Amino acid sequence: MSNVVKERVQHVAPVLCLAAPTRDDTTGSLAGERRAPLPPALGYCEVFEHFLSPAECRGLIERVESTGFAAASDDYPPSYRNNDRLVVDDPTLAAQLFHRLQQHAPQVLPAADAVSSHEHFALARLNERIRFCRYRAGQEFTIHQDGVYHADEQHQSRLTFMIYLTDGDDFDDGDTLFYARGPTAHGAPAVVARVRPRIGTLILFDHSVWHAGEPVTRGRKHVVRSDVIYRRVHAVDRDARALPFVGHQGYVWALAKLDEGFASGGRDRAIRLWSDDGTPRGVLHGHQQSVLGLAAYGQGQLASVSRDRTLRLWDVPSQRCLRSTVAHQAAALCVAALEDEGLATGGADGVVSLWASGAQPAAALHGHSGWVWALAPLPQAGLLASASEDGDVRLWSLSQRTCAGILRGCVPLRTLAVSPDQTTLVTGDTHGRVQMWTDLNERPRLVHTFAAHDAAVRRVRYLDADTLATAGEDGHVRCWQSSDLTLRFEARHTNFATDVLPLSDRQLVSCSYDGTILASRLATALGASE
């Protein structure tokens, strides 16, 4: 799925001072074996034994255990990962680790987006955001790619840096698994390589490599990870309308159409405002964690929700926050505009919250047993639809504030949309399927199910009455003829595609975990004539 990440950061003193590394006097390399577990065609991956000593590993574990872990399942869908986690910003430790690493990591990498053969990336530093993970019996991290961190326009992370702090003899299973490709509608593909954790061993691999943390069945596994950051050099001019443009420092989660241009929300806690041609128009700051949902409403206003659990209202012309309020008891995942400037939000607490004008609390709707990922109003019927990790769509009566119907499912849902004429409801699930329902006011009928992606569907959105767009964790953005489900267009990101939005001048924009927003011409996408 989904690297649905919450950075609950602990600001602590440096966790450990590392000793000088042990090196081979003749080669200058780290003592111990250096090997490549993957074929080069699948991406860079190298394992370095004895990167840390057993004593250093035990010291790190002791320090972070005394600080305390948080359950990742509070911030990630449990179907995706359920381990324990501690995130710290520690420039001192990052610098020490990088000093030990810098002679052994690749000094130069080619441009990931293949914009130009004249462009490459040079080794720069280690991300100071350090993540400690603990896996107990029954805990795992399912198949995924790691996201790109954009420190600025010239610096971005390219490699995952992970050290095993516990030896594989101290727990059962828990290997790091690698795959040649991402998940399909039928589940994870065959494992092509596995690495058995050994205390002090470092593994470096490209963010684009598909991997998983196998479930631990006995004992405890500890790892520490960060990102290796590279600097872009020999850059050439870009056409922002045709190529990716970067503004966020990491994953871009959501898009929203504004009266002029559009907005994007990201992991860097920022909401960025853009013209349709990709020109930056401003930045809205205020959220303390990832911005996960956006919705335009009223006259020149924008609503946003975040992993910090809040709902914020913004006046876009003045770029001013009008109100901030706690919306949920866990991460706030989605927001939708209702009539009369009302709003609805959904959260990881399984609650749908209704808000009157000005974000005044109106009602809390209970019924889902999992995270509420998406909301879609049906104003003609006076209903609100919600899609959840529990697999169900619930139809809520906005006047009665009760559940008026349930579309039962057994696969976690991540998104839904309603057709412009409000006769069809569309959902996307974690198996890559899209389902279409009609007769929503009477006895809803499932009329179509089709495989839209080879991994979870992160967004379904009607571009117009005839065109349905989907974004998936296979990195693809696709446009479908809604009448016969003919595929009419496809674009690709280098990581999970998270949202897709139509703009004026026949443009389509999409965003991704790769930190970019891509612009495509709708004339090309939809087969329209110029």
Q: How does pLDDT run across 446-460, given as a tens digit for each residue?
A: 999 999 998 899 999
503-529: pLDDT as tens digits: 876 789 999 988 889 988 765 544 443
Mean pLDDT value of segment 79-98: 92
pLDDT at 111 over 80: no
pLDDT at 14 over 70: no
pLDDT at 236 over 50: no
Report the predicted TM-score, pTM, of the whole model to 2 decimal places.
0.76
365-375: pLDDT as tens digits: 999 999 999 99
pLDDT greater at residue 4 or residue 73: 73
388-420: pLDDT as tens digits: 999 999 999 999 999 999 999 989 999 999 999
Question: What was the pLDDT predicted at 212?
Answer: 95
pLDDT at 271 over 80: yes
Question: What was the pLDDT predicted at 33?
Answer: 77
Question: What was the pLDDT predicted at 385?
Answer: 97
pLDDT at 84 over 50: yes
In whole angstroms, what is the distance from residue 53 CA to residue 383 CA? Answer: 60
Nearest alpha-carbon partner for 135 in 106, 173, 161, 79: 173
Question: What was the pLDDT predicted at 204?
Answer: 97
Question: What was the pLDDT predicted at 381?
Answer: 92
pLDDT at 332 over 50: yes
Other Cβ atoms closer than 10 A to 114: 9
Structure tokens of 447? 């009329």
Question: What was the pLDDT predicted at 118?
Answer: 58
Question: What was the pLDDT predicted at 191?
Answer: 94
In whole angstroms, what is the distance from residue 106 CA to residue 124 CA? Answer: 11
Nearest alpha-carbon partner for 471 in 460, 463, 487, 482: 460
The residue to which tokens 């039962």 are assigned: 408
| pLDDT tier for residue 74 given thresholds of 50, 70 and 90 | low
pLDDT at 313 over 60: yes
Q: Are 267 and 156 in contact (CB under 8 A)?
A: no
338-349: pLDDT as tens digits: 988 899 999 999
E-strand stretches of 23-69: 34-35, 45-48
40-66: pLDDT as tens digits: 889 999 999 999 999 999 999 999 999
Looking at every residue in the chain, the average pLDDT score rounds to 87
Structure tokens of 154? 């010239």
In whole angstroms, what is the distance from residue 494 CA to residue 97 CA? Answer: 28
| pLDDT tier for residue 357 given thresholds of 50, 70 and 90 | very high
In whole angstroms, what is the distance from residue 360 CA to residue 68 CA? Answer: 36
In whole angstroms, what is the distance from residue 496 CA to residue 335 CA? Answer: 21
Degrees, nearest 5: CA angle 189-190-194: 120
Q: DSSP 3-state assignment of 280?
A: strand
pLDDT at 162 over 90: yes
Question: What was the pLDDT predicted at 185?
Answer: 64
| pLDDT tier for residue 30 given thresholds of 50, 70 and 90 | low
The backbone region for 43, taken as left when phi is positive above 0, alpha when psi lies in -120 to 50, beta otherwise, is: left
Q: DSSP 3-state assignment of 420?
A: coil
High-pLDDT (> 70) share of the chain, %: 87
pLDDT at 81 over 50: yes
| pLDDT tier for residue 243 given thresholds of 50, 70 and 90 | very low
Question: What was the pLDDT predicted at 530?
Answer: 33
Question: What was the pLDDT predicted at 306?
Answer: 97
In whole angstroms, what is the distance from residue 49 CA to residue 52 CA? Answer: 8
> Helix, strand, coil: what percent of the chain each, to 5?
10, 50, 45
